[in-house]
Amino acid sequence: MHAGMCDVIRLELPTPFPVGPVNAWWLDGPEPVLIDTGVHTPSSLEALEAQLAARGRRLGDLRRILLTHDHYDHAGAAAELHRKSGAEICLHARSRLGARWSPEELAELGRFAARCGLPAEVLARAQASFRRAARVVAPSPPDGALARLAGGERLPSPLGPLEVLATPGHAPDHLCFLAREAGLLFCGDTLLADITPNPILHLDPEDGFRRRPSLLEYLASLEALAGCGARLAHPGHGPDLPDVAGLVVRNLEFIRERQATFLAAVRGGAETPHALARAVFGELDVTGQFLALSETVAYLDLLERDASLEVEWWRDPIHLLPAR
């Protein structure tokens, strides 16, 4: 079979999250590859096996599982699919598959959110809702099943070699996979049809007491994808993306506009990250407030880089000063 002519089978798998279904991609051939796995729930596993069976394919034939990032909807079923197929699991060295954050690290994230001005009861309720969601987290796969990646590798696939692109931003461990010959990009949550992915306030997997500049990293990742030469991208949610370079431009425009909105709100008197989040996003439920704070903090890095404001990160609460 000519490389690039293989079937790419889209498996649409249900999740219990507001994001709706997630896409997993089966690259068909004598040694099939699966990109992302869906969540670790019986209904997702049933859907995956039923959709494969409808195409006359068997999970047991799977050779390799590639994970775009360790969020539950993309990576949750990796251990289970490995158990059923023996497939190797390829993932970023930073991925924390099935691993929980330590209580000390969670406490550090809590202290940071509190210094951002997030009320303690909002944080407590947001953390409780994340703990409920974490019930669908999978058990960890055995270490021997894992192949750790850093970006720059080439992995064999029925589409020809897949180039591994490190694209942090949406998540610190995010990878995209490029089938250069076929002009196909598997972009996970780095590019989506209708929304610019939200960088979630994240502890650094390499050091839970630091925070990563997720939006600055995301901008660099967008730039890399704009020039990657793909003619079509298969995302982690929703429909295929036919114009990768154009979508990158639209994302960059969105980010520039939102940056201006944040700056205007700081000039309008928002003095803490939480106050800024409320000024920009208005009233939200507790999870929404945490996500809004995540996005706000990410934009503070960008505004600080552009010398539009000063952030006194060391103060409690953290204090924002527009540049004069």
Distance of CA 37 to the CA centre of its chain: 14
In whole angstroms, the minimum distance from the beta carbon of 40 to Zn ion comes to: 15
Q: Which is nearer to Zn ion, 32 or 76 (CB)?
A: 76
- Four-point Cα dihedral 313, 316, 317, 323, nearest 10: -40
Q: Does 70 bind Zn ion (CB under 5 A)?
A: no
In whole angstroms, the minimum distance from the beta carbon of 174 to Zn ion comes to: 8
- Which x/- pattern, by CB under 5 A, does the window 177-206 give for Zn ion? ------------x-----------------
Residues belonging to the chain: 324
Q: CA-CA distance, 323 to 178, in Å (whole number)?
A: 41
Q: 50 is written with which tokens?
A: 């039923």
Q: CA-CA distance, 24 to 78, in Å (whole number)?
A: 11
In whole angstroms, the minimum distance from the beta carbon of 15 to Zn ion comes to: 8
In whole angstroms, the minimum distance from the beta carbon of 192 to Zn ion comes to: 8
Torsions phi, psi for 81 (to 5 deg): -70, -35
- Which x/- pattern, by CB under 5 A, does the window 297-316 give for Zn ion? --------------------
Q: Which is nearer to Zn ion, 73 or 295 (CB)?
A: 73
Q: Tell me the one-letter amino acid at 222.
A: L
User: Which residues from 216-275 bind Zn ion, rule CB under 5 A?
Assistant: 236
Residue count at the site for Zn ion (CB under 5 A)? 4
- DSSP 8-state secondary structure symbol assigned to residue 100: P
Single residue of 71, 202, 274, 278 touching Zn ion by CB under 5 A: 71
Taking alpha carbons only, the member of 68, 60, 71, 65 closest to residue 27 is 65
DSSP structure string for 118-175: --HHHHHHHHHHHHHHGGGPPPPPPGGGEEEE-SS-EE--TTSPEEEEE--SSSTT-E
Q: Which is nearer to Zn ion, 189 or 295 (CB)?
A: 189
In whole angstroms, the minimum distance from the beta carbon of 164 to Zn ion comes to: 17
Strand 88-92 vs strand 146-149: parallel, antiparallel, or unpaired? parallel
Q: Which is nearer to Zn ion, 115 or 237 (CB)?
A: 237
Segment near Zn ion (CB under 5 A); pick from 71-79, 151-159, 209-217, 227-235 = 71-79
Which residue number is nearest to Zn ion in terms of Cβ?
71
Segment near Zn ion (CB under 5 A); pick from 23-31, 65-73, 92-100, 285-293 = 65-73
Binding residues vs Zn ion (CB under 5 A): 71, 73, 189, 236
